């Protein structure tokens, strides 16, 4: 068992758990498995402790797929783990105060709005900013988030 933020207890899982996926989905294959967990979110306990593959909820997150939206200035990002247990909406940077990840995403002025839900997030870029720059910024912010 792990003790997580705010006193929550995270249950360890055993590898090959039914319903768990450890691979990213192919582009255009439909919505991902809601139980998706990345291989990078696991660690091996070793033979002395039963030799189990356990989930580490404190691993940094990364984007597994970018998905276009009807809005050309918005991009949906599928992640390799859960980012939130509830929908969080930040319509401006000052609304993110107190949420370290949201603050990091807004840092630098590349993103104007942020929507977070489960294992995905959607960002709107600042007009005139390229998606390549925004994606690199998102990946850095997510990899630093634990």
Q: For residue 108, what is the domain's CATH number? A: 3.30.1370.70
Which structural domain, as residue segments, surrounds residue 119? 2-144
Domain count, the chain: 1
DSSP letter for 33, please. Answer: P
Q: Is the confidence at residue 91, as pLDDT, over 90? A: yes
Predicted local distance difference test score (pLDDT) of residue 59: 62
* Residue-wise pLDDT tens digits, 19-52: 333 333 344 444 444 444 444 444 444 555 555 5
- In terms of C-beta density within 10 A (0-12 exposed, 13-18 middle, 19 or more buried), how is residue 125 classed? buried
Q: Where are the alpha helices (DSSP H) in the chain?
A: 100-106, 131-144
Apex CA 89: angle with CA 142 and CA 34, to 5°? 60
Q: What predicted TM-score, i.e. pTM, was given to this entire model? A: 0.61
Q: Are 129 and 100 in contact (CB under 8 A)?
A: no
Closest CA to 138 of 98, 110, 97: 110
């Amino acid at each position: 068992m792990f003790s997580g933020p705010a006193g929550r207890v995270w249950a360890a899982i055993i590898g090959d758990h039914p319903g768990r996926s450890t691979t990213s989905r192919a582009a255009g294959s439909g919505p991902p498995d809601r139980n998706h967990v990345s291989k990078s979110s696991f660690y091996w306990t070793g033979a002395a402790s039963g030799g189990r593959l356990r989930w580490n909820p404190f691993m940094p997150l990364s984007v597994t797929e970018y998905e276009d939206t009807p809005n050309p200035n918005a991009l949906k990002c599928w992640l390799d783990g859960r980012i939130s247990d509830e929908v969080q909406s930040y319509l401006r940077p000052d609304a993110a105060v107190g949420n370290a990840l949201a603050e990091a995403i807004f840092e630098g002025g590349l993103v104007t709005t942020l929507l977070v839900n489960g294992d995905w997030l959607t960002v709107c870029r600042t007009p005139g900013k390229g998606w390549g720059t925004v994606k690199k910024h998102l990946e850095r912010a997510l990899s630093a988030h634990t």
